[in-house]
Amino acid sequence: MNIKKSFLFFAAAFAFMALQSCKDYKTTKDGLKYKIIVDSAGPSIELGGVAYVNMLYTNEKDTFDSKKANMGAPIPIRLPDSLVFKASLEEGLSLLSKGDSASFVISTDSLYKNIFREPIPKEMKPGSMTTFFIRVVKTLTKDSVKALENKMKEDRMIAEQKNRAQLEKDTLAIIEYCKKKNIKVKRTPDGVYYAITKKSGDAITLMPGDTAKTFYTGKLLDGTKFDSNVGKEPFQVVVGYDQVIRGWHSGLMALKKGEQATLFIPSILGYGERGAGASIPPNSILMFEMEVLK
């Protein structure tokens, strides 16, 4: 069954069950209206744990276009260690276990303010209620979540240590290269080294959000050319956005329109340990001869 068909079946099934038993909602002591559609055996999702759910939610008198759904890819929802907000989606999830299906009716104002933390969409009126149809696909206990978080934290620390070591190694190589070639360079806060080869009369360096049109030639530190647009159309990039490698953004923010420069980019600000195809090996320092057009 494809995603679209799966979603439509899921939505239709819930809608049918909701219509068949619209008067079967119960209310918790905190005011949450809920209806258990499928009650599976197993422990309830504990506070501090995670529920992976398929869900559809709709506002009062919604058209189909204003319905929201995860479209067949279960999404994780982390339950807080304690229920802070009354009659909330988290309270409803805490009533369920793996395999359960249920419907919850929740204040739209509370939902968007406390859970989604964004303005209410224009098609949803303040003071209205939002109905959720949810199926719990998978659960994680509080201890499992903590173990996973600790593992991720440990992995990040190892990666950061590895990156620091690689940056130190690349920095020494760049400094040694520039010393041998008698190139005077400056360093950006991120660790990109650059040498201005043609200055500009502009007073202001490029800033995040600025558009820069460039000609460039990319080389490895041994002089091997891997890319160039010289003689072609200028390459346009919005400074600070994820369109190019991080080292490009750092280098561009050290330049002005009309300048030419050579950038020396450590591998962790380039393509890192993955490299880029056959032309850029893993952990390669990149050298760009660059012109920023006015």
- Which fold does the domain 173-292 belong to in CATH? Chitinase A; domain 3 (3.10.50)
Query: What does the pLDDT look like over 48-95, one tens digit per residue?
Result: 999 999 988 887 755 545 567 776 789 999 999 988 888 899 999 999
| Per-residue model confidence (pLDDT) at position 9 | 46
Question: DSSP secondary-structure letter at 42?
Answer: S
Q: Look at residues 206, 252, 186, 260 and name the one whose alpha carbon lies nearest to residue 230.
A: 260
So what's the pLDDT on residue 244?
A: 94
Residue 62: per-residue pLDDT? 53
Q: pLDDT (tens digit, 9 = 90+) per residue, 161-192?
A: 999 999 999 999 999 999 999 999 999 999 99
Instruction: Report helix, strand or coil for 9.
Output: helix
Domain boundaries of the chain, sorted by first residue: 3-142, 173-292
> Is there a shared CATH topology between the 3-142 domain and the 173-292 domain?
yes
Mean pLDDT of the chain: 88
Top-level class of domain 3-142: alpha beta
Residue 66: per-residue pLDDT: 53
